[in-house]
Amino acid sequence: MKLLKNILNITDKLIKPLYYLVVFLSLFPSFYILSAFGNNTSSQIIALGLSSFILVYCMLRNRSDLSKYSTYLKMLLLFFLVQSISSLVVINTESFLIHYKNLAAGMIIAINTLLVLGNKKNFEKINKVLFLVLFGSICFSVVFYFKLINISFFGNIFHQKYISLLSAHLENNKLLFESFLVCMTPLLFKVIVDSKTTIKKVIFGLLILLISFLSYLSNFRVIFILFILSLLLSFIIIKITHKFYRSWRILLMLSMVIILGILIANNISSTVLNYALIDRFSLSEDSNNASINQRMIYTKEAISIGLAYPIIGVGLGNYYDYLSITKNDFPGKSSLQRSLTVASLEDPHNIFAKLFAETGFIGLISFIVLLIYFIKKDVSAIKIRDPLQLSYIAIFWSHFIYSLFNPSFSFSYLNFFWIMRSLLMIGSVR
């Protein structure tokens, strides 16, 4: 019994570090942890395994009171069960399991955030983990985009499908830059405004510079627009939570830093790539119009599928299998471009259209009810004007906006979505 007690005490101390490790592995690009030993187990699978262990252990130890989150947890469970029901009609089991794994990972980490963090005292540590993910992802993006290391090297370490997708986008002068990294801008601003040391302000100012640089260089309209939105929300939060005399100089300086980042990115695109990125943000080019039209087509197809199977849809992850067009309709493209086409076709690029097509009215309504509940909670939180809580709100809803125009059932997207929502739930407890 004494040995068991010692093991449990040691495990209790390890749970929080393990949770932070799970957050990092869930949000950082998927890589093979044991690739040097010939093992291709991905970091995401390790994260899911550790996250499942944390959930079971904490529930058995019964160390945290979840009663104050009962409404949130009931709605979370209902949404998960509704998504699970769609398994009854799937025809593509592999795609369903991939989507279901991502969904389950998000649900588990949402509960773990409540169990492990417990209160706002731990927010500073989780913020540091998020900053570490941000810094690591920026370094990875810079190295990959400018080919500072041979791309074949990445293929041996990072998930093959992810590298293929990055390479395909790179052929189109695009950089795949995760949306949630851009959405973290308000949190960086909060650190700068609250910090009393110049070095800290400079470091986080440089991070904002790099985000502005990469969001523009990414050549994805929605990423750059989300960055601008995050900036505006950051300025609004600072304005309503800090005295004007203290904030205007910081805002002026950071605005200059952001403009500098955009100018550098545009100069690189014009001189190195012979491609003016500013053209991407106009609607004058045929390729830009085609991209927008494709999204409209995907959404209309999803709605048509949903109307044909209105109750529980066609099954999670099975939207592609009911499309009128397939990857075989694009025979002339290179293998990389075909992989990009398939990735584009697999999702209707709108979270509401996706849920309607794959889980029917039941799945769609359960998600809308969840969003209404979130809005109600956040409106109450805004009235309190807590700077950190306002930053989390801005991050969460900016992140959600991404799902209105892009695929949103990836492992990292769903994990970040539910981490932020659970942090907001913890912050709302008084």
Render the burial of 273-284: b for 16+ CB within 10 Å, e for the rest: eeeebeebeeee
Q: Which residue has the tokens 């009810």?
A: 369
pTM: 0.89
Report the alpha-carbon distance of residue 330 to residue 326 in Å, rounded: 8
Rounded to an integer, what is the distance from CA 11 to the centroid of its chain? 29
pLDDT of residue 194: 85
List the chain domain ranges: 2-302+315-428
- With beta carbons less than 8 A apart as the criterion, state whether 103 and 355 touch: no
Dump pLDDT digits (tens) for 267-324: 665 555 555 555 555 544 544 445 667 778 888 888 999 999 999 999 998 988 888 7
How is residue 417 written in tokens?
A: 């979505």
- With beta carbons less than 8 A apart as the criterion, state whether 226 and 182 touch: yes
373 phi and psi angles, rounded to 5 deg: -65, -45
Dump pLDDT digits (tens) for 117-152: 888 888 999 999 999 999 999 998 888 888 777 777
Report the alpha-carbon distance of residue 105 to residue 88 in Å, rounded: 21
Cβ neighbours of residue 346 under 8 Å, at least 6 residues apart?
Answer: 95, 319, 320, 407
Range 14-21, long-range pairs (CB < 8 A, 24+ positions): 15/54, 15/57, 15/58, 15/116, 16/116, 16/122, 18/50, 18/53, 18/54, 19/54, 19/112, 19/113, 19/116, 19/117, 20/125, 20/126, 20/129, 21/47, 21/50
- With beta carbons less than 8 A apart as the criterion, state whether 370 and 75 touch: yes
Count of beta carbons in the 10 Å neighbourhood of residue 194: 13
pLDDT of residue 286: 46
The one-letter amino acid at 137: S
pLDDT of residue 47: 93
pLDDT of residue 126: 94
pLDDT of residue 289: 46
- Tell me the chain's radius of gyration from C-alpha atoms: 22
Report the alpha-carbon distance of residue 102 to residue 80 in Å, rounded: 12
Q: For every one of its 430 residues, what pLDDT tens digit does the chain have, with 9 covering 90 and above?
A: 777 777 878 887 889 999 999 999 999 988 887 655 555 678 889 999 999 999 999 888 876 778 889 899 999 999 999 999 988 999 999 989 999 999 999 999 999 999 998 888 889 999 999 999 999 999 988 888 887 777 777 767 777 777 777 777 777 777 778 888 899 999 998 998 888 888 988 899 889 888 888 888 877 888 888 988 998 898 888 888 776 545 566 666 666 766 766 666 666 655 555 555 555 555 445 444 456 677 788 888 889 999 999 999 999 989 888 887 655 555 545 565 666 666 677 788 889 999 999 999 999 999 999 999 999 999 998 988 888 999 999 999 999 999 998 888 899 999 999 999 999 999 887 6
Report the alpha-carbon distance of residue 392 to residue 408 in Å, rounded: 19
3-state DSSP call for residue 183? helix
pLDDT of residue 128: 94
Per-residue H/E/C for 243-276:
CHHHHHHHHHHHHHHHHHHHHHHHHHHHHCCCCC
Report the alpha-carbon distance of residue 346 to residue 341 in Å, rounded: 9
- CA angle at residue 165 from 405 to 94, to 5 degrees? 80
- With beta carbons less than 8 A apart as the criterion, state whether 411 and 30 touch: yes
The residue length of the chain stands at 430
Report the alpha-carbon distance of residue 283 to residue 378 in Å, rounded: 35
pLDDT of residue 166: 78
Report the alpha-carbon distance of residue 398 to residue 393 in Å, rounded: 8
Q: Choose among 392, 360, 359: nearest CA to 374.
A: 392
